[in-house]
Structure 1
Amino acid sequence: MNNSEEYIYKNECYEIIGCCMSVHSELGAGFLEAIYQEALEFEFNREALPFEKEVGIEVSYRGEKLNKNYFADFICYGEIIIELKAVKTLEDSHYAQLLNYLKATEKKIGLLINFGAKSLQYKRVIM
């Protein structure tokens, strides 16, 4: 992977993570994921950050659309998939979930955000 691919949407990711840090600073750990999602939506609106919430992601098999969909917590700037968690620590399955979202949408970048730890955890995932 070259340097230009590694840092795509750098400023946008910085803004998103900043909003997540604000939410975690205010609420701390211990709430349900849905609470963090609502608070983050508030923060995105406050910062005038473009986003869509609970976006359906279609999956195809051999060229046919399947009936079951994934749902991304947010897609920001039309390109960055945000997957929220409220767990003690991130696990490989959380990372795999975001990779599946990226694969299904053919988007290049996602952020895995965990509000459940003592300090905010985030992982920038590039496809």
Structure 2
Amino acid sequence: MLWVNDPLASLEFYEKTVGLTGVRGAEFAEGEVPFPSVRVSAQSLLDLAPITMAGAMDAIPGAGGTAGHPVNHVCLAMDKQAFEALHGRLADSGVAVSPYSHNSFGARGAAPRSFYFRDPDGNIIEARHYDE
């Protein structure tokens, strides 16, 4: 879950700029669900929760004291073509990106290249690709 100020604006950023598929955007806009999400893979979503919901996190057993707690970063792994397309979309949208890192270790071993960028709420996203 990423804490965001405007879930619909964040959904638009993740759909149009990052290239992920939105989930439950219309339902959120209609007030039917508490937050929208974006699909990272068939098995993974990122929830885009309004920061105003953060206080409710303390009500979840075992999550006391975590309300609104930020994460360091989220990593999106992709193939080389998607990686280069994302880098281009970010540049076209005026989103600042870090210099490339080379051979950084991750879930699938060393990635030839990776870079970091921030979403509109300041959440840090790492993009990386692996050799197929």
Q: Structure 2 length as normaliser, TM-score?
A: 0.26
Taking structure 1 as the reference length, what is the TM-score of the superposition?
A: 0.27
**Structure with more of its chain in helix, by fraction:** 1
